[in-house]
Structure 1
Amino acid sequence: MTAKKPVAWPLDPLVLDDQIRAFLREDIGYFDLTATLLVDKELQGDFYMNAREPMTVAGIAAAARVFSFYDPSLQVEALVADGDQVAKGDVLLKIRGCARSILTAERVSLNICQHLSGIATVAARYVKEIEGTKAQLIDSRKTTPGLRAMEKHAVACGGGRNHRLGLDNGIMLKDNHIAVCGSITAAVERAKASVPVLTKVEVECDRLDQVAEALAAKADVIMLDNMSLEDMKKAVEMVNGKILLEASGGVRLETIRAIAETGVDFISVGRITQSSPALDIGLDEAE
């Protein structure tokens, strides 16, 4: 049974505008020297942003907002939505108005859409590989500093789901946490005594005896860290649906199907946000 595609939640406009302001300030500096010297401020133009290769779109709303944030007089029309599959040559955005403003904001807008669409496109490939299994693709905290929310949004655009948004979003008991507490049982007990009531406690396990202990301690989720396929299957049998299982560690496009077929609930892939290539998207003047 295939899970329903996740909703690609948008950033709150207040947060998005704060980030766009910082991006534009970084790129422009004191002023756009080239556009100021070469483009008359009265000159009007029509431009379109187009896909130069097939892709799953992400970041189109943010890319559009860059132009209207920089110059509210610009007319910006999005022709696709985040999560859409587009072909080479499809137009994503149309922008009309002050040519100087459009050329100044162009690079930031393109950077966002190219980067996020790359993540969404790779995520969609992983999701396709595990179709027909119960496993769901999830991301990790291996994100670009300052871009986590955008990158996790892009994963959802590609059909994946999000793991923790940050350290305050859930409890993950790793080997060092467990070592400090003395045991998995003690760590889970201590976490559950004070955790917010709607927050889950996950335990990282790399051996089957640890899985048994985490299960007995009533963890909410168990991460199977770098386990062999054989051990994952044994863990699935041991847990028998009592709690959720996440497989993690070195997952690749060519290995994810076999992992999904072990019966785990989630498969986390850090490389989606960590190393997906930016895609080819251009901004051209309308003829």
Structure 2
Amino acid sequence: MADKFEEFFQAESRMFLLALIRIALAEDGPDMTSQALFTDDDTAQAQIVAKQSTIVAGLPLIPLILEFGGEAQCRHMLNVDDGERVSEGTMVAALEGPAAYLLKVERVIMNFLCRLSGIAELTSRYVQQLQGTQTKLLDTRKTTPGLRYPEKYAVLVGGGLNHRKNLVEMLMLKDNHIDRAGGIAQAVNRLTAEYSPCPPIEVECRTIDEVKEAISCPVQRIMLDNMPPDTIKQALSMIPDTMESEVSGNISLDNIGSVAKLGPDFISVGKLTHSAPASDFSMQFVTTGA
């Protein structure tokens, strides 16, 4: 999973990640409490322990956070890989270094680890409901501002797929675009005329009539938005194998399995990133001294 982290966070995504770490550390300012109570010679050892069963995501961030402050004396050991399920009481990482610095970065490390592990854990639960079907789980752009790349990485760790990281990877025609252009065909024609080569196009369809119009256009994917099951089934029967299908809207752990049995290629779920509860970890300082 370390390879997946390095593969995901390259170029622009790595730039965003490092900027995010910089902001997270800067938000706290100097740790005046620790600076007053510990000397530069005081060292500490700490363990990060899971307080619940959970998928782990975000451990490769720890060395980046430790190094970002220029603290070369810190050492770390990651005991598990991102993507592993751990039980309550598992020590997932151990840290050692100047006490004041470890105390300063403690909350930043824990915020990332708890948030990303929570997303991975919820994603894994949705993925489990898709077992026995060909449907794949997608996230959305309903992410925490500034945290999109780490949150989408956590979805991958949990077994899901990324829909699109930005507005460039795939062009999505929503109701406002379609209404502005005067119809789906007109909107698709505008896009293909404007961009060469044109990125993949996805059309959000609200009705069967819109599905009929969309399948006559050179688009890669059709999204069935907030349709009842019977309408989804009818729409899927119309979409040719040369086009991808996606279902979105009002998807929950209770109904995703039944929707998947209708046969869409993808189901997208905003809850993965906008409503995932944080997983519970604690950082326990086991020794402190000069």
Which range, TM-score by smaller chain? Answer: over 0.9
The 3 A distance-change label for structure 1 pair 198 and 158 is: farther
2:249: which partner in 1? 249
Partner-residue secondary structure (3-state), 2:92: strand
Structure 1 length as normaliser, TM-score?
0.93
Partner-residue secondary structure (3-state), 1:168: coil
Indicate yes or no: 2:105 matched with 1:115: no
Structure 1 Cα separation of the partners of residues 146 and 108 of structure 2: 15
Amino acid at match of 1:120: A
> Cα distance, 1:14 vs. partner?
4.4
Query: For 1:235-273, what per-residue CA distance to the aligned partner results, in whole angstroms no more than 9, with x for missing partners?
Result: 111114231000000110101001101100000000110
2:224: which partner in 1? 224
Indicate yes or no: 2:138 matched with 1:138: yes
Structure 1 Cα separation of the partners of residues 242 and 26 of structure 2: 51
Structure 2 Cα separation of the partners of residues 67 and 274 of structure 1: 28
1:238: which partner in 2? 238
Structure 1 Cα separation of the partners of residues 82 and 195 of structure 2: 35
Structure 2 length as normaliser, TM-score?
0.92
For the 8 Å contact 2:135–2:264, the answer to whether it is kept is yes
Query: For 1:57-86, what per-residue CA distance to the aligned partner results, in whole angstroms no more than 9, with x for missing partners?
Result: 111111332123222220112112221111
Structure 2 Cα separation of the partners of residues 84 and 195 of structure 1: 42
Partner-residue secondary structure (3-state), 2:151: helix
2:270: which partner in 1? 270
Partner-residue secondary structure (3-state), 2:97: strand
> Cα distance, 1:167 vs. partner?
1.5
Partner-residue secondary structure (3-state), 1:222: strand
> Cα distance, 1:196 vs. partner?
4.8
Query: For 1:101-142, what per-residue CA distance to the aligned partner results, in whole angstroms no more than 9, with x for missing partners?
Result: 111110000000000000000000000001111110000010
Amino acid at match of 1:26: E
For the 8 Å contact 1:23–1:108, the answer to whether it is kept is yes
For the 8 Å contact 2:17–2:150, the answer to whether it is kept is no
The 3 A distance-change label for structure 1 pair 197 and 83 is: farther
1:10: which partner in 2? 8
> Cα distance, 1:24 vs. partner?
0.1
- Unaligned 5+ segments in structure 1 are 1-6
Quick one: percent identity of the two aligned structures? 38
Structure 2 Cα separation of the partners of residues 80 and 153 of structure 1: 17
2:85: which partner in 1? 85
> Cα distance, 1:90 vs. partner?
1.1
2:33: which partner in 1? 34
Structure 2 Cα separation of the partners of residues 72 and 245 of structure 1: 50
Root-mean-square deviation (CA, aligned residues, Å) is 1.5
Structure 1 Cα separation of the partners of residues 196 and 109 of structure 2: 38
- Extract structure 1 runs of 4+ deviating beyond 4 A: none
Query: For 1:154-198, what per-residue CA distance to the aligned partner results, in whole angstroms no more than 9, with x for missing partners?
Result: 001000000111112211001110111111111111112233536
Amino acid at match of 1:19: L
